[in-house]
Amino acid sequence: KKQIIAGLILALALLVFLKKDYFLGELPRKIFGSHRFDSHVLQIVLSTATNDLSPYSLNLNDRTRAANIYQGLVAFDPSLKIVPALAVSWGNIDPVTWEFKLRREALFHDGTSFTAQDVADSFERAKIEGGGEIKSLLSSISKIVISDPRTFRVVTNEPDPLLLSKLTSFLISIPDNVGT
C-alpha cells in the first residue's frame, strides 16, 4: 500500500511539474474567471445588487456596502452597546444639548482631514438629500453648533434619550460620497 501511495504522489508531483502553466495559469482562470486582480485593490463581492451607495440609505443591502465606505459618530458593538466611532466622547451639557469630541487621526478617503464642520455639512446634506427614514431619525435635532474643529454640540428640539442610538445610522461624508 505504501508503495502505491508513494507512486501516486510521485506521479501527481510529476504531472504538476510538467503542467505547471496549466495549474498556475489556465486552471485558476477557468475556476475564478478571467479577471485580472490588482493586489492593491480590495474587492468585495456580494450576492445582490445595490440601489444606493449614498450615506443616507437605510436599506439593509445598501447599508452593508455603505459600511465599507462611511463611518458614523457612534456605533453599536456586538452586544448592542453604543461605542465610539468618529466621536471619541460625548455627554449632555443640558437636557437638549449634547457635546461631542471627534477623533483626531480620522481622514476621508481622499486624504482630507475630518472636522466638526464635516459633521454639520453631512447633517445639512442628509436633511436635503436623504430619504424619509434618515430625515425621521434626525428630526429631533434643531441645529449643530461648532465649538472648534474637533468639538461640536447637537441641540435637540426637546430631550431625546434615543439620540445616540439614532446617530448610529447617521454616516459622515463629504461631497461626491467620499467617506472616512
**97 residue type, one letter:** T
Cα torsion through 160, 161, 165, 171, rounded to 10: 30
Q: What is the dihedral of CA 31, 37, 42, 44, to 10 degrees?
A: -30
Q: Which residues face 113 on adjacent strands?
A: 107
Q: Is 78 exposed, middle or buried (0-12, 13-18, 19+ CB in 10 A)?
A: exposed
pLDDT tens across 49-71, in order?
777 778 887 777 787 788 888 99
What would the pLDDT profile of 89-135 be if each residue is shown by its tens digit?
999 999 999 999 999 999 999 999 999 999 999 999 988 888 778 88
What DSSP letter does each residue of 24-60 carry, written as one string? IIIHHHHHH-S----TT------SS--S--STT---H
Report yes or no on whether pTM surpasses 0.85. no
| Gap between the Cα atoms of 145 and 120, Å rounded | 8
Q: What is the pLDDT of residue 113?
A: 95
Contact 74, 167 (CB under 8 A): yes
Asked if pLDDT for residue 41 goes beyond 80, the answer is no
